[in-house]
Amino acid sequence: MKITWLGHSAFRIETAKSTILIDPFLTGSPSFQGLDLKDATRGVTHILLTHGHGDHVGDTADIAKETGATVLANADLAGFLSTNRGVERIEQGNTGGTVSFDDFSATFVDAKHSSATITEDGVSHALGNANGLVLHFSEEPTLLHMGDTDIFSDMALINELHRPDIGIVPIGDRFTMGGAIAALACRRFFSFSSIFPCHYGTFPIIDQTPDAFLEAMEGDRGIVAIPEPGELRDV
């Protein structure tokens, strides 16, 4: 499996059969500046969304129209993208549900966050619940993208049910867990072999570095990957 952090919470995941974007906030993302949009979206087969905020939905509609990728989102957000953004290839789900594709499945799990958007005409749209996404692959490690969330005790149940090997974990504070709490979540509730922290360094009001997370990971900091935006890692 090849994983590329594209800044903020956006990731590109490549397997033998699928190329997946999660939360592709690229255009307008300070973390994506200097990177090439066409390179980041080349060959994309699926776009997966954790929730409806603009810094996660990002370029979804444009990428889907350009590439023909299938978009997976909660039912409310999927309906909005279909009706209001013209996305044609939509798969919808909701918390606890699993959607299967060619070489992977995606399960919606809990996240403690909000999910809504205000459109250009000033209308607020409720876009379902925020989620994390567990990806089970036929021949690759299981991956959990936590989405935007605080720590919560049922993370232990997510681990019991899915046993994710790779964790994508928000650490930036203010809108999600901060570094110390995120480290506690990882160490107490999961047994990750690799962790990719995210949701930091993008905007001035969130943490700019992963330092607090790394410090709190203590003896487990060796499993934490800190790539630069656009840098590919083999997992």
Residue 235 in any domain: the answer is no
CB-CB contact of 169 with 203 (8 Å):
no
Residue 187 in any domain: the answer is yes
In the numeric block, the tokens 């992963």 are attached to: 210
Question: Could you tell me the pLDDT band of residue 26, with boundaries at 50, 70 and 90?
Answer: very high
Q: Which domain holds residue 120?
A: 2-226
Averaged pLDDT score across all residues of the chain? 97
Tell me which of 111-120, 171-180, 191-200 is least confident. Answer: 111-120
Residue 177 in any domain: the answer is yes
The strand pair at 11-14 and 19-22 is best described as antiparallel
Residue 14 in any domain: the answer is yes
Tokens of 1: 């499996």
Q: List, for residues 59-92, the tens digit of each pLDDT value.
A: 999 999 999 999 999 999 999 999 999 999 999 9
Question: Could you tell me the pLDDT band of residue 121, with boundaries at 50, 70 and 90?
Answer: confident
Residue 231 in any domain: the answer is no
Question: Can you give the pLDDT at residue 215?
Answer: 98
Residue 232 in any domain: the answer is no
Average pLDDT estimate for 116-125: 89
Q: What is the C-alpha to C-alpha distance for residues 171 and 130, in angstroms, rounded to an integer?
A: 17
Question: Can you give the pLDDT at residue 209?
Answer: 98
CB-CB contact of 81 with 51 (8 Å):
no
Q: What is the C-alpha to C-alpha distance for residues 197 and 213, in angstroms, rounded to an integer?
A: 8
Average pLDDT estimate for 4-19: 97
Question: Could you tell me the pLDDT band of residue 149, with boundaries at 50, 70 and 90?
Answer: very high
CATH number for the domain spanning 184: value is: 3.60.15.10
Residue 234 in any domain: the answer is no
Residues 69-86 as b or e (16 or more Cβ within 10 Å = b): bbbbbbbbbbbbbbeeee
Query: Domain tally for the chain?
Result: 1
Question: Could you tell me the pLDDT band of residue 120, with boundaries at 50, 70 and 90?
Answer: confident
Q: List, for residues 183-227, the tens digit of each pLDDT value.
A: 999 999 999 999 999 999 999 999 999 999 999 999 999 999 999
Residue 39 in any domain: the answer is yes
What letter would DSSP give residue 120? T
CB-CB contact of 168 with 144 (8 Å):
yes
Question: Can you give the pLDDT at residue 199?
Answer: 98
